[in-house]
Structure 1
Amino acid sequence: MTMNFKPPRTDRRRALGLVLGSGLATGLGLIGPGPAWGASARVQGAGATFPSKVYARWAADYARQTGVDVRYQPTGSGNGIEQATRRSVDFAGSDVPLGPDALGQKRLVQIPTCVGGVVPVVNGFEPDRLRLTGEVLAAIFAGDIQRWDDARIATLNPGLSLPARRIVRVVRGDKSGSTEGLTRYLAGQSPAFAKQVGEGVMPAWPGEPLRAEGNDGMSALVRATPGAIGYVSYDRVVADGLAGVRLRNREGRWVAASEAGFRAAILHSPLYRDGSDTASLMDMRGPDSWPLTMTTFVLLDAAPATAAAVEPAMRFLYWCFLHGDALTQGTGFAPLPTAVQARLTARFAQVKPRDGQFPHYLSF
């Protein structure tokens, strides 16, 4: 199945320009000389750890081209939302989309950036060898299945030697979008999990699982703990050599996490069909779709005091729309489809500084 919905970079820039060419940019006064770039400019972001390595890659390339220093602290989605609300950063990252009411109350603009996957990872197995259904995975994280040689796991893995070892659950100790995504998926797969654990950025896990801070902390703790199971973003699986599991997707196929699997989930989602960027990408149809696929977002102040205050962050984020897709290749994430990106450029115009000036974020 061909899933290449990403045109060459020049075509993408042209496609994104179609939205602005209708008069939006000139009508708002967004195209113009604007203030010059310079090494003195600095952009500070914080929040979701899920996309932090991608943002670091984008920031490094942006700095090489513009001299602008962009720094992003992976503090977790919950903290990102809190910092965006306090206006203590120029932009924040979150894997948990806010609804219209929350965005209005907090006076924030929300823009999706890319798509990735949460991957259950284990210590004591070869990569992509262990098979788990959503229901069995839910029973493991709820603490109902406590040993790797449990009959429910053995039934899914004929011929695989299972260790006679206790399962050690590792969960996030911070408010995590990855946790919210995992628990949302598991609650949809298992009514028992939905009742016992529920879904959220920091649920009340039964028993006494080990707790890790951030994706990097999770990766380190799983690697150091025999019999452990945890969950990280796919890019950490690749970078850290972790053993991911195979999940049975909605089509009944056993799939390993991959960028192709994330793209397949996008193509079968409301995001691709009608641009519903806050719609879930979990458990999408498609033979290659990865069940635990998620969109990640950035948050901007919708009503900053001045245009000058928000321009550096808006310039960086808009540049990511034009160039970030090429930089996303090979990172473990998938870019948003071109048509979706073109529609979403209008979100930048929702930022309305209180000084009545318009940010010159298109001044490249």
Structure 2
Amino acid sequence: MKLSRFPRAGSVVAVGALALTLAACGSDPEADTGSGGSTDSGETSSLSGELSGGGASSQEAAMEAWRAGFQTANPDATVNYDPVGSGGGRTGFGDGSYAFAGSDAALEDDEMAAAEAQCGEGGVIEFPGYVSPVAVAFNLPGIDTLNMKPDVIAGIFTGEITAWDDEAIAADNPDADLPSTDITVVHRSDESGTTENFQEYLAAAAPDAWTYDVSGVWPVKGFESAQGTSGVVSAVEAGEGSITYADASQVGQLGTVAVGVGDEFVPYSAEAAAEVVAQSPRTEGTADSVYSIDLKRDLPGTYPIVLVSYSLACGTYADESTAELVKGFMTYLVSEEGQQAAADTAGSAPLSADIREAVLPSIEAISAG
């Protein structure tokens, strides 16, 4: 067992509700989400100790909701989450720095191998914990929404379309007063699952316009960049004519794109994103404890730029207290109550009952090795 670098938690009374104190978030720990610190079964428990995780910055708002719901019920338990980005989360989980992680992309083969080496015989648990639309967000005063076909979005993000009044944009927005302002593309500077999801969409929906290999690193040179979800959103808010891609929960008052799917334009929504996940198959050939999804991005009536952010944990940990804390946290995260808390705060799409039932057995089996 190789988990000696995971933080040691204090004694655990029982598994269930978990208080979350996020190092990266500064909200009021007494915030009331109505959860009362109870699980779906109505039971309450008190966990103690400290647990550290990190990863996808897209999950910040959801993490804050999970923290607020359980702080009162478990005042002696602390969960720290560092929103370093998906790449940092996967690396930290694989090298033992984090006991759990969030990633906006499923583990690649080499990353899975590193994680399995850390987790030992209990293996890796990977499941979708947070589902959200990725908004294409822009700053054009007086314009709240624009229609864009996939090849237009790809043309902007490759630098082929450089002005807001370009004919390709104007053709699907006859009523918009488009300025001649130059388009400033802002992308993530860190390795990011949001970047990978966005590129996967471009490669699938506009393969002739987007010819780059898909990865978590932005491939096009010469654009502006910023760290994390909050960084790219702040950069666009500060620059008229700017555009980016970001988790929809954090785009605030920026204008957003209704994406062309077939003959219609679909604005982002949690419901439209959830439908993509519901109609997409589970990846074949994975372990029972690994639940990843092969997203279908051309389904009529759905919003195709969807982010599935995975939660990562081990099946076994070096000590019982860490195992109990991780089990309690993950159990709440996938519960109806936890998913609804995230939806209310972050606008995410709650997991379906089918996915919840599929992943719970692996979470409930978490133990000390």
CA contact (8 A) 1:131 1:156 kept: yes
Q: State whether structure 2 residue 358 is matched by structure 1 residue 343.
A: yes
Superposed counterparts of 1:1-364, under 5 Å: 13=40, 37-38=46-47, 40-67=48-75, 68-99=77-108, 102-107=111-116, 108-126=124-142, 128-195=144-211, 197-206=212-221, 208-237=222-251, 240-249=252-261, 251-270=262-281, 277-287=291-301, 289-322=302-335, 323-330=337-344, 331-348=346-363, 351=366, 353-354=368-369
TM-score (norm 2): 0.78
CA contact (8 A) 2:204 2:297 kept: no
Q: Distance in 2 between matches of 1:148 and 1:302?
A: 50
Counterpart amino acid of 1:199?
V
Counterpart amino acid of 1:264?
E
Q: Distance in 2 between matches of 1:103 and 1:307?
A: 24
- Count of matched residue pairs: 315
Q: What runs of 5+ residues in structure 2 fail to find an aligned partner? A: 1-38, 117-123
Query: What is the CA distance between 1:92 and its match in structure 2?
Result: 0.6
SS of 1:320's partner is helix
Q: Distance in 1 between matches of 2:143 and 2:99?
A: 39
Query: What is the CA distance between 1:74 and its match in structure 2?
Result: 0.9
TM-score (norm 1): 0.79
Q: Residues 307-346 of structure 1, C-alpha deviation per residue, up to 9 Å, x if partnerless?
A: 3332212211112222212213332101110121011112
Counterpart amino acid of 1:169?
V
Query: What is the CA distance between 1:84 and its match in structure 2?
Result: 0.2
* Most deviating of 135-144 and 258-267: 258-267
SS of 1:69's partner is strand
Q: Residues 99-132 of structure 1, C-alpha deviation per residue, up to 9 Å, x if partnerless?
A: 5774344213212212101111011155652111
Query: What is the CA distance between 1:174 and its match in structure 2?
Result: 0.4
Percent identity among equivalent residues?
A: 25
Q: Distance in 1 between matches of 2:233 and 2:147?
A: 20
Q: Residues 27-82 of structure 1, C-alpha deviation per residue, up to 9 Å, x if partnerless?
A: xxxxxx9xx735x5122221001122101210221222222222211110000000
Q: Distance in 2 between matches of 1:180 and 1:338?
A: 27
CA RMSD of aligned residues (A): 2.6
**Residues 1:125 and 1:256: Cα distance change in structure 2 (over 3 Å):** farther
Q: What runs of 5+ residues in structure 1 fail to find an aligned partner? A: 1-11, 15-32, 355-364
CA contact (8 A) 1:90 1:310 kept: no
CA contact (8 A) 1:121 1:229 kept: yes
The equivalent of 1:23 in structure 2 is none
